[in-house]
A = this chain, B = another copy of it.
Amino acid sequence: MKYVYLFGNQEAEGTAEMKNLLGGKGANLAEMNLLKIPVPAGFTITTDVCTHYYDNDCNFPAGLNTEILNAIKQTENAMGAKFGDDENPLLVSVRSGARTSMPGMMETVLNVGLTSKTIPALIKKTNNPRFVYDAYRRLIMMYADVVMEKGGGAEIERENGIRHKLESLLSEYKKNKGYKNDTDLNGDDWKSLSKKFKNQIKESLRSEFPDDPMEQLMGGVEAVFKSWNGERAINYRKIENIPDRWGTAVNVQAMVFGNMGPNSATGVAFTRNPANGENKFFGEWLTNAQGEDVVAGLRTPNPLNEDTKTEDTENLPSLETSMSEIYSELFKIKVQLEKHYSDMQDIEFTIQEGKLWMLQTRVGKRTGSAAIKMAVDMKEEGMISKEVALKRVNPEQIDELLHPRLDKKNENEATLLAKGLPAGPGGASGRIVFTADDAESWHKNGEKVILIREETSPEDVHGMHASEAILTAKGGMTSHAALVARGWGKCCIVGCSSIQINLEKREVEVAGQILKEGDWVTMNGTKGYLYRGQLELVPADPDSHKEYKVLMNWADEIRTLKIRTNAESPSDAKQAIVFGAEGIGLCRTEHMFFDEKRIIAMRKMILADDPVEKRSAVMGLLPFQKEDFKGILKAMAGKPVTIRLLDPPLHEFISLDNSQIKDLANELGLKSNLIEKRISSLHELNPMLGHRGCRLGIAFPEITEMQSRAILEASAELIKENISVHPEIMIPLVGNVEEYKNQADIVKKTAERVQKETGVELNYLIGTMIELPRACLTANEIAEHAEFFSFGTNDLTQTTYGFSRDDIGSFLPEYLDKKILPYDPFQSIDKKGVGRLLSLAVKEGRDVNSELKIGICGEHGGDPSSIQFCKENGLDYVSCSPFRVPIARLAAAQSELK
């Protein structure tokens, strides 16, 4: 096994392909050598060593030492200097480099190799004692902190740590000498401070700063490996879903210095603009500085070229004019790298006494908008294929174009009040209200409001619609609030458990503060952050993004998976069509019952003892429902529309307080206590597992009959108007084929009657939502009778895991934190459990009914990795909220390319 890979002098043992072994940085350093680009020589210690180290109780593999010694020799040869030499000493940097960039999360030690023996030699060579002692004190500080004290280990800076103590010594020294800035210190100052530093280290850490270059090197290497399991790195990996097993590589590389005088410089650049995607070389640089100075922000960096100067930077010197030859060398390298990697690169360079050295190249991070523009531009420049262009954009990045969002700078400066689950993306500002009715009336008065509730219910929908955003204290990613808000593309945070709502006083306690009704707050729904005050928003405007449209067209050319939307009103449906929806995959019908005129009929039905009365109450809803369906079917003319029959338990329609009960009693001429009794008899301990879905339709066949009649009469009328309609009637919550047959029979009989009455031949499907484990397990029985399956993966996830989406907030965050769950299964499909049931149902369903149309209408329909899973399992379509449709289109195209 080979542990160390050399690079330097335009030769290398590794390549860019070897990222898993060499880390991103090491692989690209090797590749740049192969491209004949000037890179300081060095070597990469592999990620295998890291894995070995942790698997073996923090011991390095035998033979590593020998390989490092040999590598140092080769580096010496390449650079024409010697490590620890008293004439021409070589200094090296020791840096981490994982497969994926983890910026700033691991340790770095620079200037390794400075000792009592090499310092005089370097002074002699550079004739710059200040530079040498400055480098030396930097080594001491870094080394003492990273290697000697923390051992590369876990903790974030400690208050009484060695770094703090050394920095105090520096401040004190400056104060005594009357210095203001570090630049005021001369060589002797740094020399005497170095001595003070070493004494302090001895006193605090009870060991000496090593004066042996190999000891410094090996200490540095181990510290970097250790920092893989530092607290920061672990947290970052958790957020970014980077496996612990990957490990980091360590890069040891000859030091070059951008701070050796006015002929030296350092900089970072992007081959294109990472913010908007423009094809302009874009970067920052500083003369006489080290890389960290550019990043640290103590000195204002200069713009790279004239072309990218802004109002703020127009008077600063560009590299293009200051060092024009070097700039043109750098520009050539930029062109070469971008062409070679066929992607925008993020590069680092140092100019040491007039010579350009490249220190890093990697694929650059970019905004969503920039990602789309670059992908389309590069395809059109002939740099990449259409397929690659499609793969270049993370589908989630499209979201950015579809919602207004917060400006990053403003957000960084704002007061964070609380964090919750990011249920609806984008940003929003508004004044707090606490009830749906208040939301509606404030909105009517022209106020922007944000509705804050413990949780929402169908009765709050009008107020949610009137609000800029919704925030709930309870609930998970598929709670009522989350589903409804996402459906409208509205900003929403749920499960924000740290807030305490006092509805009576119309105030909320959060982060120790009391916010009152009318106070301004701002939400970042993409992250789940709540801020105090009114922050400015960047508006959404996908239509003006030329390349977005091009990319979407390409996606549609390639994908075979159809994209439908979940919509329940003509306006939602129209919005979804604008976003590219090819049908409705889930039209819920329950919200249609909450209108004032309708709810009373519904309540009559619930309260009626007499079957005739019950039936007549239900049938009273027919004209309303017919209009609802006509509107939606018309909006989706020519496209399939899956309509789910009534699903929620009846008590949702009759949750009333005492005065409402009295009013209802008066209105219906009933006794209050009868209504109370009925309400209490409808109460359920676990309504999610209660009397709902097709269980309702079986108990109250007149509801099924009325709804199917409404759908089919609406269809017949539209057909008469020459509008093409494709209704698909979906029976919810089937767990047993007999349930399906019972309900499908009612629909079929109703259809026969409607056809006879209207003389119109109807073209409709009957199918079912597959949302219970038992439905999956008996899919063969159900598929014998059903014409389509639509996976309701929200409920399927609830039952497969035994998780209530409304109550998961109390433990899901901790589960994700402790890695008991790798991700929220309500956001991305759980492949081993829910996904296995889905696969099984698809297979066994199609075994008996090869014509079975299969889709998914749970929230997972808009999640790229779930879409990939659906494609792999042979689904015909996915359905998601309107605002996820563009994302789903791209994800579907990508799923073809895998």
Which A residues are closer than 8 A to B by beta carbons?
A: 455, 497, 500, 677, 681, 684-691, 693, 695, 698-699, 733, 735-736, 738-739, 742, 771-774, 777-778, 781, 795, 798-804, 806-807, 810-811, 814-815, 818-821, 830, 832-834, 836-837
- With A688-B689, A773-B773, A833-B777 in contact, is A735–B801 under 8 Å at CB? yes
Which residues of B have CB within 8 Å of A836? Answer: 777
Q: Which residues of B contact A691 (CB under 8 A)?
A: 807, 810-811
Q: Which of B677, B695, B833 contacts A811 (CB 8 A)?
A: B695
- Given A820-B736, A832-B777, A833-B774, are A803 and B500 neighbors across the interface (CB < 8 Å)? no
The answer to whether A689 and B689 touch (CB under 8 A), given A699-B814, A800-B774, is yes
Q: How far is the CB of A745 from chain B (nearest CB, A)?
A: 12
Residues of B within 8 A of A455 (CB): 685
Whether A698 contacts B815 in the complex (CB less than 8 A), given A739-B820, A777-B836, comes out as yes
Beyond A689-B802, A698-B815, A799-B800: 17 further Cβ-contacts under 8 Å?
Answer: A685-B687, A686-B806, A689-B803, A690-B810, A691-B807, A699-B814, A735-B800, A736-B801, A736-B821, A738-B820, A738-B821, A774-B802, A774-B830, A774-B832, A777-B833, A778-B832, A799-B799
The residues of B that contact A699 with a CB separation of less than 8 Å are 810-811, 814
Given contacts A773-B773, A830-B774, contact A684 B820 (CB under 8 A): no
Q: Is the CB of B820 within 8 A of A800?
A: no
Residue contact B685 to A804, C-beta cutoff 8 Å = yes
A833 proximity list for chain B (CB < 8 A): 735, 773-774, 777-778
Residues A802 and B806 in contact, CB atoms below 8 Å apart: no
Choose one: B689, B771, B795; the contact of A804 (CB below 8 Å).
B689
Tell me which of B687, B689, B795, B832 contacts A798 (CB under 8 A): B689
Pairs across A and B, CB under 8 Å, 23 listed: A455-B685, A500-B677, A684-B807, A684-B810, A686-B806, A687-B804, A688-B802, A688-B804, A690-B804, A690-B810, A698-B818, A699-B814, A733-B802, A771-B802, A773-B773, A773-B800, A773-B802, A774-B832, A774-B833, A777-B832, A778-B832, A795-B802, A799-B802
Known: A689-B798, A806-B686, A811-B695. A742 touches B774 (CB 8 A): no
Q: Please, which residues of chain B bring their CB within 8 A of the CB of A738?
A: 819-821
Q: Within 8 Å CB of A834, what residues of B?
A: 774
Q: How far is the CB of A636 from chain B (nearest CB, A)?
A: 30
Which of B688, B698, B821 makes the CB contact (< 8 A) with A814?
Answer: B698
Distance of A801 Cα from B500 Cα, bound (Å):
36
> Quick one: closest B residue to A815, CB to CB?
B698
Q: Which of A455, A738, A781, A803 has the most CB of B within 10 A?
A: A803
Closest chain B CB from A443 CB (angstroms): 28
Report B-chain residues with C-beta under 8 Å of the C-beta of A684: 804, 806-807, 810
**Chain B nearest CB, measured from A823 CB (Å):** 12
- Report if A687-B690 is in contact (Cβ < 8 Å); known contacts: A774-B800, A818-B698: no
Chain B residues within an 8 Å CB radius of A497? 681
CB-CB under 8 A for A742 and B686, given A774-B800, A774-B830, A799-B802: no
Chain B residues near A804 (CB, 8 Å)?
A: 684-690
**What residues of chain B lie closer than 8 Å to A772, measured between beta carbons?**
800-802
Establish whether residues A689 and B815, one from each chain, have CB atoms under 8 Å apart when the complex forms.
no
Contacts of A819 in B (CB 8 A): 738
A778 — which chain B residues lie within 8 A by C-beta? Answer: 832-833
User: Out of B500, B677, B773, B814, which one reaches A799, CB within 8 Å?
Assistant: B773
Nearest Cβ on chain B to A802's Cβ, whole angstroms: 4
**Residues on the B chain within 8 Å of A698, using CB:** 811, 814-815, 818, 820
Q: Could you tell me the distance between the alpha carbons of A815 and B774 in the complex, rounded to whole angstroms?
A: 16
Q: How far is the CB of A92 from chain B (nearest CB, A)?
A: 41
Q: How far is the CB of A777 from chain B (nearest CB, A)?
A: 5
| Nearest 10 interchain pairs by C-beta | A689-B804, A774-B833, A686-B804, A690-B807, A773-B773, A685-B806, A738-B820, A684-B807, A686-B688, A772-B802
Tell me whether A807 and B777 are in contact (CB under 8 A): no
Smallest CB separation, A763 vs chain B (Å): 29
Complex contacts, A689 vs chain B, CB 8 Å: 686, 688-689, 798-799, 802-804, 807
> By CB atoms of chain B within 10 A, which of A497, A733, A742 has the most?
A742
Question: A601 to chain B: closest CB distance in Å?
Answer: 22
Q: Please measure, in the bound complex, the distance between the C-alpha atom of A774 and the C-alpha atom of B821, giving whole angstroms.
A: 13
**How far does the Cβ of A797 sit from chain B's closest Cβ, in whole Å?**
9
| CB nearest to A474 among chain B residues | B685
For residue A800, which residues in chain B have a CB less than 8 angstroms away from its CB?
A: 735, 772-774, 777, 799
With both chains docked as a complex, state the minimum distance between the C-beta of A614 and any C-beta of chain B, in angstroms: 15
Q: Which residue of B lies closest to A500 (CB)?
A: B677
A781 to chain B: closest residue by CB: B832
Q: In the assembly, what is the distance between CA of A209 and CA of B686, in Å?
A: 61
Q: Give the docked Cα–Cα distance between A782 and B685 (Å).
A: 30
Chain B contacts for A771, CB-based, 8 A: 802
Q: How far is the CB of A463 from chain B (nearest CB, A)?
A: 20
Nearest CB to that of A830 among chain B residues?
B774
**Residues of chain B contacted by A801 (CB below 8 angstroms):** 735-736, 772, 774
Indicate if the CB atoms of B807 and A686 lie closer than 8 Å: yes
Partner of A688, one of B685, B733, B837: B685
Asked whether B837 lies within 8 Å of A773 as measured between CB atoms, the reply is yes
In the complex, what distance in Å separates the CA atom of A814 from the CA atom of B738?
A: 13
- Is there contact, CB below 8 Å, between B735 and A802? yes
Neighbouring B residues of A736 by C-beta, 8 Å: 801, 820-821
A806 to B691, CA, bound (A): 11
Cβ–Cβ < 8 Å partners of A742 in chain B: 818, 820
In Å, the complex CA distance between A738 and B814 comes to 13
Q: Which residues of chain B have C-beta atoms less than 8 A from A695's C-beta? A: 811
What is the CA–CA distance of A44 and B638 in the complex, to the nearest angstrom? 61
With a cutoff of 8 Å between Cβ atoms, the chain B residues found around residue A773 in the complex are 773, 799-800, 802, 833, 837
Q: How far is the CB of A650 from chain B (nearest CB, A)?
A: 10
In the docked arrangement, what's the CA distance between A733 and B677, Å? Answer: 35
Question: How close is A504's CB to chain B, nearest CB, in angstroms?
Answer: 12
Nearest-CB residue, chain B, relative to A778: B832
Chain B, Cβ-Cβ closest to A680: B454
> For residue A690, which residues in chain B have a CB less than 8 angstroms away from its CB?
804, 807, 810
Residue in chain B with minimal CB distance to A650: B810
With a cutoff of 8 Å between Cβ atoms, the chain B residues found around residue A821 in the complex are 736, 738
Q: List, in ascending order, chain B residues with CB within 8 A of A815's CB.
A: 698
Complex Cα distance A28/B573, Å? 69
Give Cα A798 to B742, complex, Å.
22
Pick the contact of A686: B686, B811, B830, B837 (CB < 8 A).
Answer: B686
**In the bound complex, CA of A699 to CA of B820 (Å):** 12
- Which B residues are CB-close (under 8 A) to A739? 820
Q: What separation, in Å, do the CA atoms of A742 and B821 have in the docked complex?
A: 12
Q: Which residue of B lies closest to A685 (CB)?
A: B806
CB closest residue in chain B, given A810: B691
Closest to A795 in B: B802
**A827 smallest CB distance to B (angstroms):** 16
Bound CA span A391–B484, Å:
59
- In the complex, how many angstroms separate the beta carbon of A109 from the nearest chain B beta carbon? 36
| Cα of A814 to Cα of B681 in the assembled complex, Å | 16
A693-B811 Cα distance, complex, nearest whole Å: 12
- CA separation between A869 and B742, bound complex, in Å? 29
With beta carbons under 8 angstroms apart, the residue of B677, B795, B807 that contacts A685 is B807
Residues of chain B within 8 A of A777, CB atoms compared: 800, 832-833, 836-837
How far does the Cβ of A259 sit from chain B's closest Cβ, in whole Å?
A: 49
Q: How far is the CB of A895 from chain B (nearest CB, A)?
A: 23
Most B-side CB within 10 Å, residue of A497, A799, A802: A802
Q: Which of A685, A778, A795, A810 has the most CB of B within 10 A?
A: A685
Partner of A687 from the list B686, B693, B733, B814 (CB cut-off 8 Å) is B686
Q: How far is the CA of A684 from the CA of B479 in the complex (A)?
A: 13
Interchain nearest-CB distance for A180 vs B (Å) = 47
A497's nearest neighbour on chain B, judged by CB, is B681
User: Within the complex, what minimum Cβ distance (angstroms) separates A781 from chain B?
Assistant: 8
